[in-house]
Structure 1
């Protein structure tokens, strides 16, 4: 849940124009999702950061 919330906050921060905060949230999402064994979610998060 925390990983998904961090990813959502990353999207919101990016939409509001704060790329540094967005990157921090997305990195946190990747870290948390990797910890719980979500194999595909971190890759999804990386691809969304490049948009």
Structure 2
């Protein structure tokens, strides 16, 4: 998952931003798919979409 470090040294402009966004998206996807009292039912579709 941590391949952003290599990309940063090579091309520090666009790829870095993309990896940043992907990391944030994956974090939010994890939060959405985590079983919580209220968002447990909503997490099922997101789980399939994220994976």
Report the TM-score range of the alignment, normalised by the length of the smaller protein: 0.3 to 0.5
- So what's the TM-score if we normalise by structure 1? 0.47
- So what's the TM-score if we normalise by structure 2? 0.47
- Of structures 1 and 2, the larger Rg is shown by 2
Relative contact order, CA 8 A, sep 6+: which one is greater? 1
